[in-house]
Structure 1
């Protein structure tokens, strides 16, 4: 098997330190790693050559927060509110999930990501009711071929949190690959301070980052939760704040000083009535900000929709303060900045030699993409999932010529539909 891949003659976009169009160039991949980027790279005997003529080549997208298991309940509540989501999805539907349903939903959701050019996924899994549910989710991520950060949110008996978290960490560490781990903490605003203290303590003991829904439940709740984390020294552990909608600019500065990051879900933050996305405010404070689909219950599952929405809402802020936000900013959030939020900034998110070769080739020979004068603007404002021609993860093609590889998609979708029939009841 060849260890070298040459991607030739594409229009290349890099994203580090800032998004830039390199023009027509080639990318050489060695053993799954980016080795060289530039025009007219020399041919390598025995290399696999991918002709990228007519495409834009760029780093794969990074989704910093997605409840992947919910692929089986897509659009089940498209016009709901956040309280309605909690009742319908978390209280009613989630407990009906069996381990096989967890596998079916997570596998299909991960393949949905790959199909749309999302090569890295932070899978925030809060339906891990038993070890079998957890094992099914991890197996599905492995089987999908995606690069995943598995967000473990303990859902079993409270006394098992420490032991089960350690078990999952040990098993993932014993079989290194494309999957790493973070603690998906319920946090002080959802589960209370006692549980939150244990979650952050376990994360520190295991050397793992934390990702938590913080600052999205009202200004008073946001202030109390942040004060609790600071008072207990918990922000020495790298922490991502999801839906950080209710913090003041002064509180954002404190989060930035502590090395925190944010994950923004622009579509469903608006759709669920959570609040106006804090994209520009957080970034102005110096906080790395990534994008996320969150849930396909009431949001699109691709990154194009998230980038467009973030761009629209930031530039459309009533006070005009967001007009400096550009399509390049949106793409940066979907790639290198998202990788930083996911804890993988030195691994993926750009075309820097030495990084993993997680790449996307987007077609420009379609009515919606042809004659684009600004490739970055076209990726953010015009491309869609149908434009995604080829996807590579660690140099391995998982999609070619517009078709997913390595899976019997009909079987995957049949299992997904069977799960939907089981878990969705009138």
Structure 2
């Protein structure tokens, strides 16, 4: 699918932390995979969810993504619930790239910008075992589509689309969202959602937690 000057199409789908199997997201003093019986042969690749903003919030370390990538571990990106704070996948992508660059002092370290965009889309689907149904704009898959409007100040100047999405993208750039072909957000506004009610319910839930 070609990218137009007015719209950038990208299927952005995160993977929840529950999809992680065998790969801890955080402290490096824990094993990266469980012990296997002698003579056994692994037939399913290890999969893990990386939640960088949650890791920073909880001071739980930095996931060794480059090493895991070299060993063939498949990784997707996740929010990790409330400890993510904003549930902003653009921030998650930037954090996933920035943490590894700062730690290794190498701008070419994994994940690169194309790699982290893949982690946010098809990588998440692979972690869930659903890559045959979601994760990419492919005929026959479910139409989960995020439509971005790059005609804003934060996208200027436009030079490289992948770089712009990962490093410049912000939630206000999301103009439309389709879930399985159904329009759920249009012209930047959520459809069929009473946001005021959601806020009230969240506040009541938080009050119950504080009082417990």
2:97 is aligned, of 306, 311, 314, to 311
Contact in 2 for aligned 1:390/1:399 (Cα 8 Å) = yes
The corresponding residue for 2:71 is 285
2:158 is aligned with 1:372: yes
Q: Deviations over 1:50-100 (max 9, x none)?
A: xxx7221111322332xxxxxxxxxxxxxxxxxxxxxxxxxxxxxxxxxxx
Mapping 1:296-335, distance limit 5 Å: 296-297=82-83, 299-318=85-104, 320=106, 322-323=108-109, 325-335=111-121
Question: How many angstroms does 1:273 deviate by?
Answer: 2.5
Mapping 1:40-189, distance limit 5 Å: 54-65=6-17, 124=18
- Where 2:138 maps in the other structure, the secondary structure is coil
Measured in 2, the distance between the counterparts of 1:218 and 1:235 equals: 25
Contact in 2 for aligned 1:262/1:282 (Cα 8 Å) = no
Measured in 2, the distance between the counterparts of 1:394 and 1:318 equals: 39
- Where 2:103 maps in the other structure, the secondary structure is coil
The corresponding residue for 1:7 is none
The corresponding residue for 1:226 is 34
| Structure with the larger strand share | 1
Measured on the aligned residues, the alpha-carbon RMSD in Å equals 2.8
Contact in 1 for aligned 2:12/2:145 (Cα 8 Å) = yes
Q: Mark the CA change 1:235 to 1:321 in structure 2 (over 3 Å): closer, same or farther.
A: farther
Return the TM-score normalized by structure 2.
Answer: 0.86
1:394 is aligned, of 166, 175, 180, to 180
Which protein shows a greater Rg? Answer: 1
1:422 is aligned, of 205, 208, 211, to 208
Range 54-63 or range 356-365, more displaced: 54-63
Measured in 2, the distance between the counterparts of 1:218 and 1:337 equals: 22
Question: How many angstroms does 1:353 deviate by?
Answer: 0.8
2:71 is aligned with 1:263: no
Measured in 1, the distance between the counterparts of 2:148 and 2:25 equals: 36
Measured in 2, the distance between the counterparts of 1:421 and 1:233 equals: 53
Measured in 2, the distance between the counterparts of 1:380 and 1:295 equals: 21
Q: Mark the CA change 1:362 to 1:321 in structure 2 (over 3 Å): closer, same or farther.
A: closer
Mapping 1:195-214, distance limit 5 Å: 211=21, 214=24
The corresponding residue for 2:3 is 23
Contact in 1 for aligned 2:125/2:134 (Cα 8 Å) = yes
Question: How many angstroms does 1:234 deviate by?
Answer: 10
Contact in 2 for aligned 1:215/1:222 (Cα 8 Å) = no
Question: Is there any run of 5+ residues in structure 1 with no aligned partner, and where?
Answer: 1-11, 13-21, 25-52, 66-123, 125-183, 185-209, 237-256
- Where 2:166 maps in the other structure, the secondary structure is helix
Q: Deviations over 1:293-328 (max 9, x none)?
A: 113235431111110011112223336385364211
Measured in 2, the distance between the counterparts of 1:333 and 1:419 equals: 32
Range 280-289 or range 303-312, more displaced: 280-289
Contact in 2 for aligned 1:369/1:378 (Cα 8 Å) = yes
